Amino acid sequence: MSDDVQKVMLQLPASADYVDIVRLNLYGIASKMGFSYEDIEDMKVAVSEACNNSVLYAYGQQDGIVDVIFEVSADALSITVKDEGESFDKADASAERITLHDKELGDVQVGGLGFYLMQALMDEVNVVSEFGKGTTVTLTKKLYLSEERV
């Protein structure tokens, strides 16, 4: 398999009106790669959650920008959603990396359930939130050809 990674980059206003554009691009790229309909639908939900977190929480009422980077390799699709707004976890501004794996359900802030959803739908979810620098969410789905899936 080739190690070549192709990148498709979008820069969008942090507005719910533009989340559809991300989903449409995801559909086009994932279809071309050979992902199943079910996998594409899962990825669309997960990427919508990541984008909505940026739109709803990062910038408040201020205008902001969300960068979306699709990284296409032979056997996986990674989608990175980046903003430069406030971190998702405002209660702990010193946290450079948030993980929800070790939190109890009751400890998750409103909106945090989206991370559980992303983790359920994707093969890998990585969240890095730096105070004053924004948040980067990377979602990865592996491409299994039908005979490879166990």
Query: Over the chain, what is the mean pLDDT?
Result: 81
Q: What is the pLDDT of residue 147?
A: 56
Distance CA 86, CA 130 (A): 9
Q: Which position has the higher pLDDT, 19 or 144? A: 19
Q: Over 90: is that where the pLDDT of 150 sits?
A: no
**In Å, how far are 27, 46, 59, 135 from 65, measured between CA atoms?**
22, 19, 9, 12
Tens digit of each residue's pLDDT (9 = 90 or more) over 18-34: 999 999 999 999 999 99
- SS3 readout for the chain: CCCCCEEEEEEEECCHHHHHHHHHHHHHHHHHHCCCHHHHHHHHHHHHHHHHHHHHHHCCCCCCEEEEEEEECCCEEEEEEEECCCCCCCCCCCCCECCCCCCCHHHCCCCCHHHHHHHHHCCEEEEEEECCCEEEEEEEEECCCCCCCC
What is the band of 144 on the pLDDT scale with cuts at 50, 70, 90?
Answer: confident
Q: Which position has the higher pLDDT, 121 or 56? A: 121
Distance CA 77, CA 137 (A): 14
Distance CA 122, CA 108 (A): 19
Percent of residues, the chain, with pLDDT higher than 90: 54
Kindly calculate the radius of gyration of the chain based on its CA atoms and give it in whole angstroms: 15
Q: What is the pLDDT of residue 85?
A: 80
Tens digit of each residue's pLDDT (9 = 90 or more) over 88-100: 554 343 333 344 4
Q: What is the pLDDT of residue 146?
A: 60
Q: Supply 91's token pair.
A: 């209660």
Tens digit of each residue's pLDDT (9 = 90 or more) over 46-76: 999 999 888 877 666 577 899 999 999 999 9
Please tell me the CATH superfamily of domain 6-142, with its number.
Histidine kinase-like ATPase, C-terminal domain (3.30.565.10)
Q: Where are the domains of the chain?
A: 6-142
Burial of 30 (0-12, 13-18, 19+ CB in 10 A): buried
What is the band of 81 on the pLDDT scale with cuts at 50, 70, 90?
Answer: very high
pTM of this structure: 0.78
